[in-house]
Chain A
C-alpha cells in the first residue's frame, strides 16, 4: 500500500517538469538514475547482484589493509560449511563432485603406485639374507614384517627444495639442507621448467598432467604442481610417499599466503622469502640405521694394535727414562763432565769430557742395560781438578805404602800416617808431578824407620859368592835363591843411601887369574861382573849402586876361587 502511494507520488513528480529540474539541481541526479537507485533499494535481489560486483574487491582490500585477517574469516567459513553439511549434505556433495572425482582417482592411483612399488621391492629382495634376517627380527621383536621392511626402505634425504614460478620458470625461493652445498638454484629451476615444457610438448600430455618425478642417477627430483608455482625437491635415496603429502601441503600453504604476490608477480622474488618456512618442512630426511656388525674382531684388532703400539711406546719411554738416569748418574761422577746428549739414528749419543782417573763409563753403561748397539759415548780426555780426581792421580803417581792417607784441599796435598823415610823422601820430590797440587802438607806424616843396621846389610851382601863354570854365568836353583836374598840386601843399601844421604856402593868382584892369558881372563871376568850387575838391575837394584871389578888371585894374600863373584860394600 505504501509502495503504491510512493509510486503514485513519483508519477506526479515526473509530470512536473519544473520539479524535475529542481530535483536535478539539488541532487545532481537525473530521473533515470534516481529510478535505478529506487529499484535497488526496493528490490533486495537486484541490490545483491549490484553489490556482488565489488564485494570481493572490498573484502580483498580489507584483508590487504589488515582490517580483516584470513584467520578471522576462517571460522566463519568453516561454520557455514558445517551448517550446510548438517542441513543438506547432498548439496555440498553435488558441489564437490567435479573435484572429488579426479581427487579420488589420483589418491587411489598414488596408493596403488605405492603398493606396487612396495610389492616390487619385496619381490626383488624378499628372499635375500638381509630380508630373511628381517623376518627373523620381526618374529623376535613382535613387529610386523611390513613394518620392518618399511623401516629399511624409507631411507632418504631431501637435499634442496625449490619454489619455481610456473609460468616463467624463475626461482622464487629455495632452501638447502645445511649439510650439502647449494646448486645453482636459478639455473636448476629454469632447466626443470624447460624439461617440464619439453615433456609437455613432446608427449602431447593434457593440461592437468605435469612432470612429477625425474630420476638423475641416485637423485630423485620430486615435483609438486600448484596453480602459480611448483615445488621441486632434490631427494637422495628412497623417499617415502608421505613426502608427497608434505610437499602438497607446502605448495598449498605457499599459494594461500602469496596469492596476491603471484597475481602481481613481475620478476621481483623478494616477497617469496617468507615462503622459506613452508619449504623447510620439505627438507626431511631419515638416516639409515647402521648395520651393526660383530665387533669382536674389530675390538681384538684394536686391542692388538693398541697393545703393540703401547708396548713400543712403553719401551721407548722406559729406554729414554733409563738413558736419562744413566746420564744423570754419569754426570754426578767426579772427573766426568757432560757436554751433549742426543739421539741419532736410534742410537743414544753422549758427549763429554773425562779425566783418566774417572770411573770406567763403559761398565756403568752396561750396568744400565746399554751397549754399543744402542748407545755411544764420546769423551774427550781432560784433567780434572776435582778433589777425588787429584787424590786418585796422586795415589797412582806416588804409590803410597800402607798406613798412609792422602787427601786434597784447595791445591794442598795432605799426606798423613806413617811411612818409611825412603818413600817420604820420594814424596817430597815427586808431589809436584801431581797436576793440581801446589803444595804438600806432611805435618801429619811420621817417619817409620824400618831399615836394618848398615853392618847387617853389608854382611847380608858380602856373604854371597857365586861360582860359575868356564864361560858360564847362568845360575842354578840354589844360586837363584841366594840371588834373591842378595837383591833384597842390595835394595836396602839403596834405601840407606837415600835416607841417610850416604853414597854406599856395592863392588861386584869377579875373580880371575893372570895365568896363561891375563888379558883374556880379565875380559871374561869383567864381562861376568857386568852380567851380574845387569841381572841385579833387572831385579830392581839401581845400577848406580853397583860397580864391576876384576880381582886377580895373584894379587890377593888369600886366593879366591876363579870364575867366582863376590860383593863388597864401600862408601865412595
Chain B
C-alpha cells in the first residue's frame, strides 16, 4: 500500500466517521426537539373549553350602570384532563338595560394582570394603566383599550363568549 493510497483511505474513513457521527447526533435530537416544539404546532392538541356562549348570571342580579365582576364557569379540557365546571376566568359586566349588557375581559391588554374597577372606570394595579367606564384606555402603558367580549341576554340570562387575546400589542388578536 503506497503512502498516498493510505492517506486517501484514511481520509475517506475519517470523513465517513465524522459524517455518520454528526448524522447520528442529529437523529438522536429529533424526538426531543419534536416534543419541545410540539405546542407551537396548531391543531395537534384537543381544543380547550367551549368557544360558544356561556351563561354567567341572571340579568336582574346586575346593578344598572355599575361594573360587576362575574366568574365564567364551564367544562374545560386542560391537556389530557377533562374538568367539569371549572372557572375559566372572569368578565366585567355593565348593565345598560334589561336587554343590553356590555362585557369586557378582566385581563389587561398590557401584560395580563387583572383589571380592577376604579372610581373613574377601571384601572390595572400592576402598571397603572387606566381605562374609562366604557373600557377606553386613558392612561398608562396599555397598548389598547380593554378587550370587549361578545355578550347577549336571552330569557333574562346573560351569556358571554369567553375569549383570550394576545397581549402587548395595539391590534386585538384572539388566541
Q: Is A bound to B? A: no
